[in-house]
Structure 1
Amino acid sequence: MKKVSVFIVICLAAWFSVNNPFVEKYIASLTESVLPVTKQTDPLYQQIIKSAHTYEVPPSDAKIDSVWKAIPGYNGIKVDIAASYKKMKIKGEFDEKKLVFVQTKPKVHLKNLQPTAIYKGHPDKPMVSFIINVAWGNEYLSDMLATLKKHNVSVTFFLEGNWTKNNPELAKMIVSAGHEVGNHSYSHPDMSKITADKAREQMIKTNEIIEAATGEKCVWFAPPSGSYRDETVKIANELGMKTVMWTVDTVDWRKPSPDVLINRVMSKIGNGSMVLMHPTESTAKSLDRLITLIEKKNLQIGTVSELMDEERIIK
């Protein structure tokens, strides 16, 4: 009997030890059961309420800018008071690192705006996107895809319909590598000059070919040479696509040296930038260093869909 009593005493001592994680959970469960009654008067709870507004960032509505045209919205953040209190209540002291945040949605979204071309993402979002228009340059695609894979970066390739028809395996390879694909017309016409019927035909035909080759539906349209008129944007919108332009042009088709290309991009790049590229020798040779320099500026690189998404990047 004495041995049993000693064993029980030891067990109880271990159980009620301050460092015992089971005790902390037990205390937390007891506190949770009385939380509705006690939290309103708890100084810790009141401190979280008092401090919450200092961490709040309001959401930003999508809008049409006089210079940059359509700009996507961006989520705000606020403190989740109940969740933050729950994380801090065991120790009973305010700890900024234990604050829990939730994102708040804007009231106006990109889809609510009238059909307008998009030249950049939200200026507060520390992300950029590469827009790679493909109608030629097959010999450089493998190297570019290898570099993107090395850096674990996904981008958006805008495929010409005729090119995709002739190179379905390359189109599949792009999608299999985790990249997004968009519509770059069928035969690279000047979209500002062709009729509405021809423009619609160019887009529909390309969408069908890309979906047949890759299984992906296009939600973004990039007009060849950046040439379009308002009607072009409306037609794309009717077909379920937003029209995408660019913020920074590599002008890689002029065959600049890697240093010239990199300096051109890095002197202009910032939050929300969309960088126009093609599969060229200049871009293939610049891509590795360019990605490294962009990431050193604390900018993420993502697809057009990721850049346009309202999700806030929390660092």
Structure 2
Amino acid sequence: MRDYRKYVNLFLFIILVAAAFRTEYNPFESNVATLGTGLSIQSDALYKEIEERSNTLSEKPQDAYIDDVWKKTAGRNGLKVNVEKSYEQMKKKSVYDESLIVYEQISPNISLDDLPASPIYRGHPEKDMVALLVNVSWGESYIPEMLSILKENKVKATFFIEGKWAKENSDLVKMIDEEGHVIGNHAYNHPDMARLSSGDSVEQINQTNQILKAITGEKPKWFAPPSGSFNDQVVQSAHSMDMETILWTVDTIDWKNPSVSVMINRVTEKIHPGATVLMHPTSSTANGLDQLIKLIKERGYKLGTIETLLSEDR
């Protein structure tokens, strides 16, 4: 009996020693974060102020939706204050400073992918970003200059490329791709898509996808109907191939070869949050692109690809 008790006591002693050396758990250590004074962080006046103000600074996420006029519209992430990280940023000064608030983005419940087939004209109407859309079925002599200007200004654009043109200018397609721009589909031979049968619409999009994938290694996600001509059948055809149909809200009308000042005024008078600016590889655009980019930035807008514009990121 004594031997039995001796072994039981030894066993219990070993368990207690092992528990004491566990780094992830110590029964004598508090889980409440403390300040140097021994007070909990939660009781600090600065922490409490951040916590109280966080309610007014937070924003709910906005779901993607289909607008009566602008059709499929991207959602927008909400904002939530990370109180602990914000406190870490401010505790050295021990003074509340809203510029040091740390936010977390909260995704909406409904994204663009959750919505039925519908064209897209713009980004979220509160997103201070603009996307340059370049439709390409001619004008190859201006593309290198445009790419150089975009690179100098650290701007990425979206090039919607015709399949037939891509076959004849694969080097330029590769150049656009290697510069990090997004490449979209502009049908095969610039047809009036609204007049095509469903089968012909699919063929126009699919044939171009195959050509662009052979050149770049990736299947396009975005489709821009030539001349903006489309109907529900065209949108459904693109949707059946997991593609979104992209239109625009601001038109340079550069194919009419306007003066640079006229083209720039057209854009700057109509620019808005979430805008999509349509252009082509023309002399007007090549000569005015640098100035146009700078003016858009001066208005407080960032410039990004269609992917960035339509993302839910703030």
Structure 1 length-normalised TM: 0.86
**What residue in structure 2 maps to residue 45 of structure 1?**
47
Q: How far did 1:283 drift?
A: 1.0
Q: Is residue 2:61 matched to residue 1:59?
A: yes
2:146 to 120, 144, 147: 144
Give 1:89 deviation, angstroms.
Answer: 3.9
- Correspondence 1:183-202 to 2 at 5 A: 183-202=185-204
Distance 1:37 1:231 in 2: 66
Q: Does 1:109 align with 2:111?
A: yes
Q: Which position in structure 2 is the counterpart of 1:159?
A: 161
Q: Structure 2: 5+ residue runs without aligned partners?
A: 1-29
Q: Structure 1: how far apart are the matches of 2:72 and 2:169?
A: 33
Deviation at 1:91?
A: 4.9
Cα offset, 1:61, TM superposition? 1.3
1:96 CA drift (Å): 2.5
Matches within 5 A, 1:81-230: 81-230=83-232
1:40 Cα offset (Å) = 3.3
Distance 1:91 1:293, change over 3 A: closer
Match of 2:233 among 226, 231, 234: 231
Aligned counterparts of 1:176 and 1:307: Cα–Cα separation in 2: 20
Q: CA deviation at 1:105?
A: 1.3
Which residue does 2:311 correspond to in 1? 309
Query: Are residue 251 (structure 1) and residue 247 (structure 2) matched?
Result: no
Structure 1 residue runs without a partner (length 5+): 1-29
Give, in angstroms, the shift of residue 49 of structure 1: 1.3
For residues 50 and 189 of structure 1, the distance between their equivalents in structure 2, rounded to whole angstroms, comes to 59
Distance 2:218 2:298 in 1: 32
Task: From the CA coordinates, give the structure whose radius of gyration is larger.
Answer: 2
Structure-1 separation of matches of 2:138 and 2:90: 58
Aligned-pair CA distance for 1:33: 4.9
What is the alpha-carbon distance in structure 1 between the residues aligned to residue 97 and residue 254 of structure 2? 50
Tell me, in whole angstroms, the C-alpha distance in 2 between the residues paired with 1:144 and 1:90: 48
1:263 to 241, 262, 265: 265
CA distance in 2, matches of 1:126, 1:217: 29
Partner of 2:8 in structure 1?
Answer: none
The CA deviation at 1:90 is 5.0
> Does structure 1 conserve the Cα–Cα contact (< 8 Å) formed by 2:74 and 2:111?
yes
8 Å CA contact 1:181–1:216 kept in 2: the answer is: no
SS of the counterpart of 1:192? helix
The alignment-based identity, stated in percent, is: 47
CA contact (8 A) 1:74 1:106 kept: yes
What secondary structure, in the 3-state scheme, does the structure 2 residue paired with 1:240 have?
coil
Residues 93 and 263 of structure 1: CA distance in aligned 2, closer, same or farther (over 3 Å): closer
Q: Retained in 2: the 8 A contact 1:120–1:247?
A: yes
The DSSP-based 3-state class of the residue aligned with 2:143 is helix
Are the counterparts in 1 of residues 33 and 40 from structure 2 also a CA contact under 8 Å?
no
Aligned amino acid, residue 306 of structure 1: T
TM-score normalised per structure 2: 0.86
The letter for the 2-side match of 1:34 is T
Do structure 1's residue 72 and structure 2's residue 66 form an aligned pair? no
Matched, 1:34 2:23: no
Residue 300 of structure 2 aligns to a residue whose secondary structure is coil
